[in-house]
């Protein structure tokens, strides 16, 4: 009898405690801003992009929640509420990501999505974001299709990174400025999907305008993404009469290509422009070839490693402390998405005098200019939903003192120099000779 | 077309063929004997690559000579052949031999997914680089182009593996037992052959070959999550072209695909992706059993 009473009492207490915990947890959760963050946690895109991006998010969320960031981001949380980042895997393709996003919004009740690496995922989910009415800040994908074809009148979708066009136009401008007389022709090796195809097209068109005497190959290489074996392509590139090779390879594909090309002396025979080469430069260390033009798609990673701006200095210091390595471009790009989120929530709350609605946050972010790691950035294109930043190019050189790869002969191209004017499609702008560029 | 280009296409084609053969031969050996379309094969490749790259990294950190990398390649493949071979064959496949062949495909696909996650648990998401053996062997000049010698050794390894398998199958007692089992499992059992043991040994050999493919490629590639998926698709294409279960078929299939692809990359790079699967489609249309499929006895 005693035992039975005791058991039921324990059960009652248990239920009460569980209920109380659930209620308090619910109350606590209600005070957070839940952000769904897709990034590659598995698969070939994880090491060079997904994991550094995840690290960047964890660090910036810690900084935001604790009020560690320098001004103007030195208040805690988004509009005073703690940020809860639900990081989930972006692997599996567009269809899976549509389901994942739907689940995050409808089951987990996230307030916003900040992330997305793959251009495929951005293209697959942009219409869904509008349908679900969820604020979505795309952080890495570069395809121009998002706002030029798929979502011409965006409301809920933003992107806080330059498009692939800006990346390749700035590469061409750097070559035109620094390699005049050295370049006899251009060829390319790019992965056979939207990113690779678009990158080569944009680079070729920009070069045709800036260096009309330089011919482009009729046989650019487009190996399958993640194929890992590039022996035949390296032979073809070695035999090509063009002496500059353009590549938008990234991650493991780029590492494998560099390893195989180095063993075959390709970097000694050709000039190279690697539009996102920085993603592996830190990892490869001395194995990364010197004298290579590498890009970061904006003021991120290697290009800002020594920039003294307070937010950047904090990020560099804390990232190296937390992860034992320097932050590369995806860490910056995801963190910049969160800075955009903080700016918009704080600004909207200030204007509303209370915690803002999604519509108020969107109004604050549309067309906004907000402080980022190394100065202000502006949501300047696509009706205020597409960011424009400067883009930077330089040449790799090993720094013995720092024990890491650094860049020299750096040129900074302002946003107006590498992006089309507002309302003009990227491809049309390139084909028309990049009229209206402000360099 | 100039002679130099032809020579380059031939060399590039043979290197790529070697890669294809090394990833496909284990698959065809297992199918030939056990009639199991083993999707787990991609994971064997990945395990081989990961273990080798990891060990070569440790070896280099210990300041030991780079030549040891070659020893580690074969040791890794042998260890994995035994460990994974026994686990998968005894723990999974032996329950499926009497079931429909499709069940084995699904079961090995499930095992493949599990093994992919095991790789992530053991080695994480960071890519591993183990270029030391490739750097050690240096390079040679052929037709005015520099080729790394390590890739050229893959051609030699391919012919060694093909010869050893042919010899083992046709000139040894175990080979004759295998042929008997391939021809008729029930009659072989009735004749006193320990088919269970034959299946286990065959699977260990197949696993070893899959792991060897990964281990030998590790010094060339960036060993990263997902490499097994890429490989299994290519391996299936080669096996289908050559004929399921045929070792000469896998060799010829790999050479046909490798050289066709190399020619495409040099002459018409836009059809490079199409070539492999185009050949596969043609073979399936005109010779669905593959170029060298073993003749099947019709049971009455």
Alpha carbon distances (Å) from A293 to A199, A273, A405: 15, 5, 12
List C-alpha distances in Å: A250 to A54, A228, A257, A295, A410.
17, 12, 10, 11, 21
Is it the case that residue A91 has pLDDT exceeding 90? no
**Does B270 contact chain A (CB < 8 Å)?**
yes
The average pLDDT across A284-295 equals: 93
Tokens, residue A290: 């010197």
Domain membership of residue B61 (yes or no) is yes
pLDDT at A2 exceeding the cut of 90: no
pLDDT above 50 for A1: no
Contact in structure between B264 and A234 (CB atoms under 8 Å): no
Q: Which residues is A370 bridged to in the sheet? A: A377
Name the residue among A399, A129, A162, A369 with its Cα closest to residue A275. Answer: A162
Q: Tell me the β-bridge partners of A396.
A: A407
For residue A238, the chain B residues in CB contact (below 8 A) are: 145-146
A262: helix, coil or strand?
helix
* Region for A394 from its dihedrals, namely left if φ exceeds 0, alpha if ψ lies in -120 to 50, beta otherwise: beta
Where do the DSSP E strands lie in chain B? 139-142, 145-148
CA A281 and chain centroid, separation: 16
B135 interaction partners in chain A (CB closer than 8 Å): 263
Give residue A16's pLDDT. 47
> Considering only CB atoms, which chain A residues are within 8 Å of B144?
239
By C-alpha distance, the chain A residue nearest B276 is A224
What average pLDDT does the structure give for chain B?
91
Q: What is the pTM of this model?
A: 0.86
Residue A173 has pLDDT above 50, yes or no: yes
Hey, what are A209's tokens? 């305008």
Give contacts of A233 with chain B, Cβ < 8 Å. Answer: 265, 269
Q: B222 at the A interface (CB within 8 A)?
A: yes
Contacts of B227 in chain A (CB under 8 A): 44, 226, 228
What mean pLDDT comes out for the span B72-89? 96
**Minimum-distance CB partner of B145 among A47, A227, A235:** A235
| Residue contact B266–A252, C-beta within 8 A | no
Q: Dig out the tokens for A2 from the structure.
A: 């005693």
Give whole-number Cα distances, B56 to A176, B177, B222, in Å: 43, 38, 13
Question: Do residues A138 and A146 lie in contact, with contact meaning Cβ atoms separated by under 8 Å?
Answer: yes
Model confidence at A21, pLDDT cuts 50, 70, 90, reads: very low
Weakest-pLDDT range from A7-21, A118-132, B190-204:
A7-21
Q: Is some CB atom of chain A closer than 8 A to the CB atom of B151?
A: yes
Nearest to B16 among A231, A236, A251 (CB): A231
What is the model's pLDDT at position B217? 95
CA distance A391 to chain B (A): 28
Quick one: average pLDDT of A89-114? 94
Instruction: Compute the distance between CA of residue B132 and CA of residue B65 in angstroms, rounded to an integer.
Output: 10
Pairing type for strands A157-159 and A135-138 reads parallel
CATH superfamily of A165-296+390-431: Response regulator (3.40.50.2300)
pLDDT band at B1 (very low <50, low <70, confident <90, very high): low
B35 touches chain A (CB under 8 A): no
Contact B145 A239 (CB under 8 A): yes
Residue extents of the structural domains in chain A: 32-162+307-388, 165-296+390-431
pLDDT for B297 equals 58
A33 membership: H or E segment, kind and range: strand A32-39
Identify all chain A residues contacting B7, using CB atoms and an 8 Å cutoff: none
How remote is the C-alpha of A430 from its chain's centroid?
23
B265 touches chain A (CB under 8 A): yes
Q: Two tokens at B235?
A: 């391996």
Mean pLDDT over A95-123 rounds to 95
**A380 close to A282: Cβ distance less than 8 angstroms:** no
Whether residues B139 and A287 touch (CB distance < 8 A) is answered with no
Domain that holds residue B185: 3-286
Is B300 part of any domain?
no
Contact call for residues A69 and A117 (beta carbons, < 8 A): no
Q: How far is B127 from chain A (nearest CA, A)?
A: 6
For residue A38, the cross-strand partners are A88
pLDDT in tens, A28-74: 445 899 999 999 988 778 888 999 999 999 999 999 999 999 999 99
The answer to whether domain A32-162+307-388 and domain A165-296+390-431 are alike in fold is yes
First to last CA, chain B: 55
- Chain A residues with CB-CB distance to B126 below 8 A: 47, 51
Q: Which residue has the higher pLDDT, B32 or A102?
A: A102
CA distance B83 to chain A (A): 25
Euclidean distance between CA atoms A101 and A120, whole angstroms = 14
Mutate to test the interface with A, among B4, B13, B265 (most CBs of A within 10 A): B265
Decide if B296 is inside a domain.
no
Question: pLDDT at position A15, please?
Answer: 47
Domain count, chain B: 1
The CATH fold of domain A32-162+307-388:
Rossmann fold (3.40.50)
Q: A93 to chain B nearest CA, in Å? A: 14
3-state secondary structure of A249: coil
The answer to whether the CB atoms of B19 and A192 lie below 8 A apart is: no
Q: What is the pLDDT of residues B117-161, one digit of tens each?
A: 999 899 987 788 898 999 899 999 998 899 999 999 999 999 999
In the numeric block, the tokens 């109004």 are attached to A363
Tokens linked to A323: 């992860």
- Which residue, among A229, A282, A330, would best test binding to B if mutated, counting the most B CBs under 10 Å from its CB? A229
Is the pLDDT reported for residue B111 higher than 70? Answer: yes
Flag if B134 and A264 touch (Cβ within 8 Å). Answer: no
Quick check: A283 and A329 in contact, CB under 8 A?
A: no
Domain with residue B173: its CATH number is: 1.10.3470
| Partner residue opposite A252 with nearest CB, options B139, B146, B222 | B222
DSSP A379-404: EEETTTTEEE--EEEEEEEEETTTTE
Residue A289 reports pLDDT greater than 60: yes
Q: A72 preceded by cis ω (within 30°)?
A: yes
Q: Is B191 on the interface with A (CB under 8 A)?
A: no
Instruction: Compute the average pLDDT of residues A12-21.
Output: 47
pLDDT at A27 over 80: no
pLDDT at B190 over 50: yes
A75: exposed, middle or buried (C-beta count within 10 Å: 0-12, 13-18, 19+)? middle
Phi, psi of B223 (to 5 degrees): -80, 110
Tally of residues, chain B: 300
CA B204 – CA B72 distance, rounded (Å): 18
Q: How far is CA B249 from CA A55, A83, B254, B291, in A?
A: 48, 59, 8, 6
The nearest alpha carbon in chain B to A280 belongs to B127
Question: DSSP state, A413?
Answer: E
pLDDT digits (tens, 9 = 90+) for A202-250: 999 999 999 999 999 999 999 988 888 899 999 999 999 999 999 999 8
Rounded-to-integer distance, Cα A438 and Cα B120, Å? 48
Q: Which residues of B touch A253 (CB under 8 A)?
A: 222
How buried is B175 (Cβ within 10 angstroms: 0-12 exposed, 13-18 middle, 19+ buried)? middle
**Residues of B with Cβ-Cβ distance to A236 under 8 angstroms:** 265-266, 269
Q: What pLDDT does B182 receive?
A: 86
Largest CA distance in chain B: 64
Classify residue B299: in a domain, yes or no: no
CB < 8 Å to A256, chain B: 220-222
**Does any CB of chain A come closer than 8 Å to the CB of residue B224?**
yes
Interface contact flag, B272 A222, Cβ < 8 Å: yes
């Amino acid at each position: 009898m005693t035992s039975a009473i005791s058991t039921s009492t324990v059960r009652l207490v248990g239920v009460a405690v569980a209920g109380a915990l659930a209620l308090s947890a619910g109350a606590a959760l209600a005070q957070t801003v839940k952000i769904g963050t897709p990034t590659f946690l598995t698969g070939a895109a994880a090491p060079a992009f997904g994991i550094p991006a995840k690290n960047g998010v964890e660090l910036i969320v810690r900084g935001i929640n604790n009020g560690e960031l320098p001004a103007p981001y030195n208040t805690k949380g988004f509009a005073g509420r703690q940020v809860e980042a639900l990081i989930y895997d972006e692997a599996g393709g567009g269809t899976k990501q549509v389901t994942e996003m739907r689940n995050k919004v409808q089951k987990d009740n996230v307030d916003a999505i900040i992330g997305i690496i793959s251009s495929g995922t951005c293209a697959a989910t942009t219409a869904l974001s509008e349908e679900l009415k969820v604020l979505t800040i795309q952080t890495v994908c570069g395809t121009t299709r998002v706002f030029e074809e798929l979502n011409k009148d965006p409301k809920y979708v933003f992107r806080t990174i330059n498009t692939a066009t800006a990346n390749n136009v700035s590469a061409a401008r750097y070559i035109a400025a620094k390699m005049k007389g050295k370049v006899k022709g251009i060829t390319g090796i790019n992965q056979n999907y939207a990113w690779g195809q678009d990158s080569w097209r944009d680079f070729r068109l920009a070069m045709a305008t800036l260096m009309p005497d330089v011919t482009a190959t009729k046989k650019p290489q487009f190996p399958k993404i993640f194929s890992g074996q590039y022996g035949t392509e390296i032979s073809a590139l070695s035999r090509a009469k063009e002496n500059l090779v353009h590549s938008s390879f990234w991650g493991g594909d780029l590492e494998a290509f560099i390893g195989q090309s180095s063993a075959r002396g390709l970097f000694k025979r050709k000039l190279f422009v690697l539009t996102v080469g920085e993603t592996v430069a830190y990892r490869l260390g001395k194995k990364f070839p010197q004298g290579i033009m590498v890009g970061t798609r904006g003021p991120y990673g290697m290009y800002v490693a020594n920039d003294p701006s307070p937010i950047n200095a904090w990020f560099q210091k804390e990232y190296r402390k937390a992860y034992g390595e320097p932050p590369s471009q995806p860490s910056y790009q995801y963190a910049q998405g969160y800075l955009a989120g903080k700016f918009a929530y704080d600004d909207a709350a200030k204007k509303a005098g209370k915690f803002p609605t999604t519509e108020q946050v969107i109004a604050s972010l549309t067309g906004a200019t907000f402080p980022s790691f190394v100065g202000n950035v502006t949501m300047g294109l696509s009706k205020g939903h597409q960011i424009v930043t400067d883009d930077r190019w330089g040449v790799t050189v090993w720094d013995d003192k720092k024990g890491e790869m650094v860049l020299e002969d750096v040129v900074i191209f302002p946003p107006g120099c590498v992006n089309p004017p507002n309302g003009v499609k990227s491809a049309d702008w390139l084909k028309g000779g990049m009229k209206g560029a402000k360099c | 077309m100039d002679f130099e280009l032809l020579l380059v296409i031939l060399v590039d084609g043979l290197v790529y063929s070697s890669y294809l053969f090394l990833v496909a031969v284990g698959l065809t050996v297992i199918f030939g004997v056990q009639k199991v379309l083993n999707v787990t094969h991609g994971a064997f490749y990945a395990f081989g690559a990961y273990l080798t790259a990891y060990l070569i990294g440790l070896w280099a950190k210990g300041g030991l000579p780079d030549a040891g990398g070659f020893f580690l390649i074969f040791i890794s493949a042998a260890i994995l052949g035994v460990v994974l071979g026994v686990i998968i064959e005894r723990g999974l496949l032996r329950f499926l031999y009497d079931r429909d062949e499709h069940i084995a495909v699904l079961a090995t696909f499930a095992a493949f997914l599990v093994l992919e996650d095991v790789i992530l648990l053991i080695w994480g998401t960071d890519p591993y680089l183990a270029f030391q053996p490739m750097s050690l062997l240096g390079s040679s000049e052929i037709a005015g182009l520099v080729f790394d010698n390590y890739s050229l050794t893959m051609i030699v390894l391919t012919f060694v593996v093909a010869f050893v398998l042919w010899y083992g199958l046709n000139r040894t007692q175990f080979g004759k037992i295998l042929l008997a089992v391939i021809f008729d499992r029930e009659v072989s059992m009735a004749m006193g052959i320990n088919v269970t043991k034959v299946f286990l040994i065959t699977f260990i050999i197949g696993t070893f070959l899959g792991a060897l493919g990964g281990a030998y490629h590790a010094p060339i590639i960036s060993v990263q999550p997902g490499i097994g998926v890429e490989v299994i698709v290519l391996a299936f294409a080669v096996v289908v072209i050559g004929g399921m279960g045929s070792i000469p078929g896998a060799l010829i299939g790999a050479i046909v695909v490798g050289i066709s692809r190399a020619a495409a990359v040099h002459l018409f790079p836009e059809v490079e992706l199409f070539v492999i699967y185009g050949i596969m489609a043609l073979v399936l249309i005109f010779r669905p059993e593959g170029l060298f499929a073993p003749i099947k006895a019709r049971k009455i």
